[in-house]
Structure 1
Amino acid sequence: MADIEELQRRLTAAIDRIGKGVERLDAASEPPEDPVDIEDLQARLGASEAALEEERIAGQQREERIKTLHAKLEDAQATMKARMDAQSEATAQVDLELQRLRKANEQLRANNKALREANKAGLADPHLINTGMIAELEALNAARSAETAEAEAIAAAFKQLLPDDSPREDA
């Protein structure tokens, strides 16, 4: 019987120790209840989430602005390329016309020289010489006009390349 009592006492002591260990585990697993810290942390979390959302929105707005700026840049580049192509074409056309005009002037001068020499030899009509001289003067005036047109085309090209804040002649 003494053995039974001893075993009962040992079992009771073991059960008490187990109960105390379970209580300690329960106490350790429960967070400390400090309402000020929890409310403060929740407020900080809410503020952080709001700030994060604001940053997301700002980032999206920046991305949209960047897309808009890229589109504007592409449009400006396309416009500039079109202007450059048109200017190149106009310059090429002016150059072609000048080449034709210069060639015609050279032929006209050669013809007039031949007419003058034929007149000296007594073989030409003076009226034809006068007509040739008038044609030569008209060709020279046309050459001058073509050169003026060429200079104006070059000036127009420079005006497109200069910034708008350049000094104005009429100011």
Structure 2
Amino acid sequence: MTEIDELQRRITAAFDRIGQGVHMLDAAPAADALPEGALAKAEADVLRMELQAALAHSEALQDKLDGVQDKLAKAEPEISSTLVAELEEQIAKLKEANAELMAANEAMRGAESGVTIEQMDQGVVAELAALRAERAAEATEMKALLALVEGANRVASEEEST
């Protein structure tokens, strides 16, 4: 639906420009009635006016772009140092838990007389610790991503209201 609205707006703008051009042609004396230099001057004046309008439009768009970029720079949330520290801590715990899990698995693989219940218990405990550490790291990562998304939504909302 927005594409149709945009096309309608563009067609209306084109008709307006055509109407202005026809109005200018009606108001201008006939080309054969003007000397050649006056006709070139009139065309140059029209081109100059169109160029000035295009430059003004370009400046307005640049100003709007600068404003949006400023809003984005201000709204982009900085992930706090505590969140980064928490994420690093969770990653360290995850590495430690995975190392314990690998050691428990190696112990069970290397058991010559069969795996004991204690080894199986150590393996299960190590695996649970690794899973918990992984989930905690994922939760911290999601907090960081959520902060970024909320910042982007805030910028989008502010832009729509202006």
Whether TM-score is above 0.5 comes out as no
Q: Tell me which interval the TM-score lies in, with the shorter structure as reference length.
A: 0.3 to 0.5
Greater relative CO, 1 or 2 (CA 8 Å, sep 6+): 2
TM-score of the pair, normalised by structure 1: 0.39
TM-score of the pair, normalised by structure 2: 0.41
